[in-house]
Amino acid sequence: MLPQVQSESPLNPEQKTRLYELERTVERNLSSFLEAGRALLAIRDERLYRTYGTWEQYCRRRFGITQSRGLELVRSAETVENLLRGPANPDSGDAPLPADLSEQALRPLNGLEPALACACWRLATRIGKPSGHVVGQIVRVVKGGIQQGQGGEPPEPKHPPRQTYLIG
């Protein structure tokens, strides 16, 4: 959670212009998660929201979204930037981002260590077009393997195995 701003200096003219430009980007692309997430990331990191008080108040008052939705967009943008520095790099990557990339396909990668997110993305692209379901399964299997390798118990399956009954 971001700290609440008590009394900070107001935005200077350059910062006001930057905030205005970034807000236009968010408004135009709120349905396009990547551009909106990148703009929100810059607004958050540069603390351009501070005239609204908190990040939560800013998201709610300015765009009508919750703080958690704003942070989801930010995390997805951070994940894409990480992938673009690695396996999805347009010049040297071996696991490109699809043109119709969905936020749901990235969500399971959010919060993973960057190298682990890249490895899971590579695996997902080897299977076909990455979807949230496929990426999520890969992340669960990889995390389970890591946990078992560290002497822990594997995570419970998301859905219990089906019971088969023989009638004789």
Q: What pLDDT, in 10s, does the model give residues 2-25?
A: 555 455 789 999 999 999 999 888
**Max Cα separation, the chain?**
82
Distances (CA, A) of 101 to 15, 36, 87, 98: 31, 14, 15, 5
Q: Is 7 left (phi over 0), alpha (psi -120 to 50) or beta?
A: beta
**Residue 125 pLDDT > 80:** yes
pLDDT at 105: 94
